[in-house]
Amino acid sequence: MSKITFMGAGSTVFAKNILGDCMVTEALQGYELALFDIDGERLRDSETMLNHIKNTVGSTCRIKAYSDRKEALRGAKVVINAIQVGGYDPCTITDFEIPKKYGLRQTIADTVGIGGIFRNLRTIPVVLDFARDIREVCPDAWFFNYTNPMAVLTNVLNTHGGVKTVGLCHSVQACVPSMFRQLGIDPEGVQSKIAGINHMAWLLEVTKDGKDLYPEIKRLAKEKQKEKHHDMVRFELMFQFGYYVTESSEHNAEYHPYFIKRNYSELIEKFNIPLDEYPRRCVNQIERWKNLRAELVNNPQLEHKRSGEYASYMIEAMETNVPYKIGGNVMNTGLITNLPKEACVEVPCLVDAGGITPTYIGDLPPQLAALNRTNINTQLLTIEAAVTRKKEHIYHAALLDPHTSAELSIDDIVALCDELIEAHGDWLPAYTS
């Protein structure tokens, strides 16, 4: 029996999408869907929900929850990762509230920035533990990483974990449809090419019947920018740097030094930037779960239609050898020639029975590569900190972060890092000075 293992299966809604998709895919019938989570109650909820779907759709997949991580992984063909280390309380609260004391505001804090750095530092040891188990009990498995910070974790698993890993993010899939929707453009028959790094990949080409659509996109975006809307940062970046970026404006506001400024509150207003957005989402999700749990877990007639998530289509392609195209996060083995070879990049990839084959891109436009490198610097130094356990590299990562360094002095950045290290306590391993 082939086996798909879902790490962080207590993420019940996401487990429904990914594993529900597998259960309605003909080529994946008979698979074992192995569930693992450190939260026993949420694990049981997901097991119950998935069994409802299995019965409703008539799947022959087998649902099995595990309390032993290594046994959950044993013999897996694919491992899907959707964990969050530290959760909303205490770690997300810590990532937002302590920087506020220094005047440093954030929106999402899960990729780079000071919040992204510390989310990485507490998550890297956990995924490297996964990697040790995988090398022992399912060494040929593919690891599909959905967990943020995407670029760093995917990089670490490939370079230090010894595990075949691809990072999967929704931003590539959503980029063109969401932008066209808000500009009122018909997406039917549109061709696009996207490459860069996770959350800062670029819509390099967008055409229909051979015609470049960028002039019309920019014309409509100029009109749209005259009113308040949720995508003002991305449009401003497009006007200044020439290309539309994949990830949302609330994310990109904190990836650059231009938008969130202590003494320029008019910028926050001008670009409609939602400070503290992620904590609000967390609180709302916790509250919504009370009602959603009854709808999903206590509903024996629960149905499922295949979603657009990559995972089931990728496993199907591996099983059937019918190629499927994704936007994947992989190591930069000469794929984007003006980004560092040590970086994890996001490029088109083909999936089939041979695995995952990334596409050669060549040089990005120089201004786009330059913007990517500002974030890659922090990513690589965060990895250096996690691998060497040297505190100085935590400082280096923060000092080179575009938003943090634009707002705070060297002394304040070092003090902020020290305070965050202390506040995280046992969520972080020990670091040497």
- Is 282 annotated in a binding site? The answer is no
The CA-based dihedral angle spanning residues 136, 142, 147, 151, taken in that order and rounded to the nearest 10 degrees: 100
The pair of structure tokens assigned to 410 is 């060297």
Alpha carbons 67 and 228: distance in angstroms, whole number: 49
Write the burial class of residue 245 (CB in 10 Å: 0-12 exposed, 13-18 middle, 19+ buried): buried
- For every residue of 207-267, DSSP letters joined together read EETTEE-HHHHHHHHHHHTTS--TTHHHHHHHHHHSS-BSS-HHHHTTTSSSS--TT-HHH
Query: What does the DSSP 8-state code read for residue 321?
Result: -
Question: Is residue 169 a known part of a binding site?
Answer: yes
Evaluate whether 47 touches 35 at the Cβ level (below 8 Å): yes
Local structure of residue 90 (DSSP, 8 states): I
- In whole angstroms, what is the distance from residue 7 CA to residue 69 CA? 9
Let me know: does 355 contact 318? Beta carbons within 8 Å: yes
In the annotation, is 170 catalytic?
yes
CA within 13 Å, CB half, 420: 31
Which listed residue (170, 256, 396, 403) is catalytic? 170
3-state class (DSSP) for residue 197? strand
**Was 91 annotated as part of a binding site?**
no
Residue stretches of the annotated binding site for substrate = 148
List the binding residues.
148, 169, 199
* Active-site annotation, residues: 170
Annotated binding site for Mn(2+): 169, 199
